[in-house]
Amino acid sequence: MSSSSDPDGTRSSQPLAADASALLEPGSVQAQFAAPDGALVMLRWCEAAVAVRFEELKPVAAFKAVPGRRWGPGWWWSATTGGHVVVGSKAMRSQLMILDRDPRVAGLAGRPVRLIWREPGSRRVRSWVPQLFARYVDGAALLADCPSRIGAGGERAAQAAAVMAEVCAQVGFVYRRLAPVDEVLAVNLVWLAGYRHPRNAGGPLLVQALQEAFVEPLPLLEGAARVGDALTVLPSVFHALWSGRLAADLSAPLHERVTVWAVAG
């Protein structure tokens, strides 16, 4: 296995598989997606990547609900877009949270496209539906899968990842199998996400007061108390931690004494 942190900030865990993408020619891959009326549309991938706003599309395929599993498919309200993104697993939700609070991300969608190709050699038809799509403010695009553990999906997923990486590179996109999010970080993000709605930001004066209170690193509760009644101010502190105006070490459990500081700019 290889694990890396990429220039765009996403962490990836890419299984090193046999080159299942060998001999795939540009233009030979098809993209299938849902039109606004729900009809399925097929277009050459190299054309769709330029013409289609995948971040605006509904899922091309639903996530399956597995009987007996405690966590099933649902929807995530995105603070980035103000809309909902379909979610298929806890692992995917964790990745969505990371992308949703990234200021470089402008759009998000769940399962918006199915890629179809013929396997080199055997010519068998193969397809894959990446779980996540993210559009960045600079126009860059990310297709990603969100395994719950490294190696999940076995050889089929590894081979599909090799194909996805190649066909995305051909059109200037990036594909990643995102490394599972650390459990403590995921728990912290779930907590902060409860305050992600803009209504928790507070007015301009409160936002400025928080920046001034935490200009020097302080314990969370102490800084909140400097601004006003702590219980009243805390929702705005948590929103600022979500949105990045304030920062803390989210790799450790959040608590009232955790050190918080203001982020410049």
Averaged pLDDT for residues 27-44: 93
pTM for this prediction: 0.87
Q: What is the Cα–Cα distance from 54 to 85, expressed in whole angstroms?
A: 12
What confidence tens digit (pLDDT) does each residue in 204-219 have?
999 999 999 999 999 9
In this structure, are strands 246-248 and 11-14 parallel, antiparallel, or unpaired? unpaired
Contact 114, 32 (CB under 8 A): yes
Whether 173 has a pLDDT exceeding 80, the answer reads yes
Averaged pLDDT for residues 206-234: 96
Neighbours of 115 (CB within 10 A): 22
CA-wise closest residue to 146 among 80, 79, 86: 86
CA-wise closest residue to 80 among 211, 198, 170, 212: 198
What confidence tens digit (pLDDT) does each residue in 56-77 have?
999 999 888 777 777 778 999 9
Average pLDDT across the chain, whole number: 90
Tell me which residue has tokens 């990371």.
Answer: 98
CA-wise closest residue to 244 among 196, 203, 202: 196
What confidence tens digit (pLDDT) does each residue in 142-166 have?
999 999 888 888 888 999 999 999 9
Contact 134, 107 (CB under 8 A): yes
